[in-house]
Structure 1
């Protein structure tokens, strides 16, 4: 079965977290693997820009400590997660309101405790208090119970629920409109980049389940640390950057720089549009557009390490955080990093609109804040409108596979899980007992 002309058992196209994590699983099983990346570096959308000692994420996707694949993926053992303050901070009617899990365990019991505590707590003085966005005490107790059930519900049972747009499903379950608009809409906008709640109810439930069962967090050092740790753990010479793949088949890929590379299987681990360019007929979803604006300040706003959401939708910013309070490594000593996300098309005068909105959200002047970077990403997050297949096939046919966040859920968990499924399918098809090929050297002129 093995042709000595093969240069690798598996060629992976794309060096984002999906491709790199699949490469880890394959190389660990003795499968010689080559990862080809057209860009000059690895990571794809999970990139971090360095500006004057600041570390600025291009997209800034939120993670959760409840994502199973962060624990299961080889190569991520050294990943350090920096959690936000428990729950979230809601801005509504000129005030801040705490909402969500507050127990240190971060589990389902914590989620229920938080809402009950808010329901019974006396009205606080100052900037932080609990009240309106969650509705009445009864509304809050019901919300707490719902979060508790989601946190404890097996995933397969959750996925068997009837599917509809998230807003329609919430209304059908009797969730009051004030709870949806005051808490669930801004929360799901932060988690799924979908403020209109058009996402599949099953995907929204998964996101709320992770919120209730864990803690929102970011990787220490920036989003790039996930792909960087995965890349470091691979055998030398596995990853090749600056190599553009022009066509694929079940036993070879053709590159613009080095011609044909022969193999036993090909795994497409690019974004959805690039995958469809190589394999016409693959589904290309709609995408959520976003812009991330990074500011520096001499003094940190008083919100601490909280994720601040705008429940009033009073401006372009959907959510914002003093990221340097969550992860001090992202800003030089004595400086503060504030990162804010705008969903959809940005306003014409973005900087002015964002500054005015942030001034209201944080309750402080932003006139002297310095704009460090503005990152626009038109196709940032694949939309997951119903009907949405959360387990889209990764095996197209024997020898040709595809993975990425467009095959599962539009999250880091989804990207890693699809890579897990794809690498398992490849190993099954190659045969665990089949001796693997000793690869020939690939071109090294542009290897990473």
Structure 2
């Protein structure tokens, strides 16, 4: 649909990922005339779902955390038909599998750790104290703590180096998309808190159902897909077929695209992840549990069809495995070999279904990390996204909400006649 020459909006939002969707929704709710532009054929940005050879595959391994405040505020969780992961992880070690669960939800997991002798009392005590502090303390207090690396914070909390290397480092590598625990401890504590307060799930139709639901709440005609923006003009934005005039322009793209549209904006370094999808005749792990590797040959792996059986159209198991970077054929073969060891099965018969590399999947978040930053760049120019807050769905939605607040404050919260 071509734009009518002379159309003028209160705000144009560029990018229909989580941040852009939240920003557009809040501006619309406030009564402003908004146009949301997306270069791709559907919404979601990095939160996308593809259908490949009868399988439902997300763009990179995804989990949906019900503990995020923005998620609770904006989404109808029942409509997503969520099914949970096991509250905990399995760690593949040279001595066998170690199950680490949330004893407040699965008491037998905590008993197993005590009686199995796999984790010492020092680390169990430190884990209990850390979890209780993060679970019970107000979020404002967690955010106000001094910031160091996660590795330093774990050492200060009393964990042994062995436990950090066996559990925290392999598990958090998949959360932060870096394997040195150099990420901000402030962010770690907020993520840990949200995991304790919420449930990690997957929607029935894949993670793409989340942005689809957000988009469905926009007024008819507000969203335009397949509409790349070639640049900004003094009075708005430039498309292939028209110039859209707007009092405010919000760039809600990834950091690279934002820097191209906004000269002078410094792009944030990002993390790259590749997810491999394989089909197996039988499930190699008959439970919806995340598996990580103490040797960190892969970030994490899980049988997605144990979480959502509908992800497979023919009854075969769908296994998702993520690794840092963009591995070549030899590295990928080594990952499949590591999976055979970790799952205790022959992976030679597994069929490769899909492979997706997501560059800039998360922003790098070393300390000191500002948990939120202003979205104002210049008069009438704003930028939002997880790279302006924290690398999470919560961060993206919160940044979009902040952009909307700042636009409304600057425009006087009034719609132009």
Aligned equivalents of 1:118, 1:375: Cα separation in 2: 37
State the distance in 2 between where 1:217 and 1:192 align.
18
Relative to the length of structure 1, the TM-score reads 0.86
CA contact (8 A) 1:295 1:337 kept: yes
Q: Are residue 117 (structure 1) and residue 111 (structure 2) matched?
A: yes
Tell me the SS of whatever aligns to 1:78: helix
Note the C-alpha offset of 1:216.
2.0
Q: Does the alignment pair 1:262 with 2:245?
A: yes
Among 283, 287, 292, which residue is 2:266 paired with?
Answer: 283
1:322 paired with 2:316, answer: no
- Cα gap change, 1:80/1:404 in structure 2, threshold over 3 Å: closer, same or farther? farther
1:246 pairs with 2:244 = no
Shift of 1:310: 1.0
Using the alignment, how far apart are the partners of 1:17 and 1:296 within structure 2?
A: 30
1:400 aligns with 2:384: no
Deviation at 1:34, TM superposition (A): 0.7
Deviations 1:166-190 (A, max 9, x none): 1122223332111211111122112
- Contact 1:24-1:74 within 8 A present in 2 as well: no
SS at 1:96 equivalent? strand
Q: Deviations over 1:43-92 (max 9, x none)?
A: 21112121122111112233322111111126777333321011111111
- Residue of structure 2 in register with 1:157 after alignment: 141
Residues 75, 284 of structure 1: CA spacing in aligned structure 2 closer, same or farther, 3 A cutoff?
farther
| Equivalences for residues 152-231 of structure 1 within 5 A | 152-231=136-215
State yes or no: 1:272 paired with 2:255.
yes
Aligned to 1:441: none
Q: Which runs of 5+ in 2 are unaligned?
A: none
Following TM superposition, by how much is the alpha carbon of 1:102 offset from its aligned partner in structure 2, in angstroms?
A: 4.3
Distance 2:316 2:110 in 1: 37
Kept in 2: contact 1:103–1:114 (CA 8 A): no
Unmatched segments (≥5 aa) in structure 1: 105-109, 124-130, 439-448
Matches of 2:78 and 2:285 in 1, distance apart?
Answer: 33
Residues 213-263 of structure 1 show CA distances to partners (whole Å, capped at 9, x for unaligned) of 2222223211211121122222222111222212225741122x1232111
Q: What TM-score do the two structures reach when normalised by structure 2?
A: 0.93
Residue in structure 1 matched with residue 122 of structure 2 by the alignment? 138
TM superposition shift of 1:295: 0.6
Structure 2 equivalent of residue 10 of structure 1: 11
Runs of 4 or more consecutive aligned structure 1 residues displaced over 4 Å after TM superposition: 74-77, 113-116
Asked if 1 retains the 8 angstrom alpha-carbon contact of 2:64 and 2:207, the reply is: no
Q: Is the 8 A contact 1:100 1:212 kept in 2?
A: no
Q: Distance in 2 between matches of 1:329 and 1:398?
A: 48
Aligned to 1:332: 313
Distance in 2 (CA, whole Å) between partners of 1:114 and 1:149 is 22
Decide which moves more: 342-351 or 139-148.
342-351
1:301-329 C-alpha deviation (Å, 9 max, x unpaired): 2341001111232x2x1100001111122
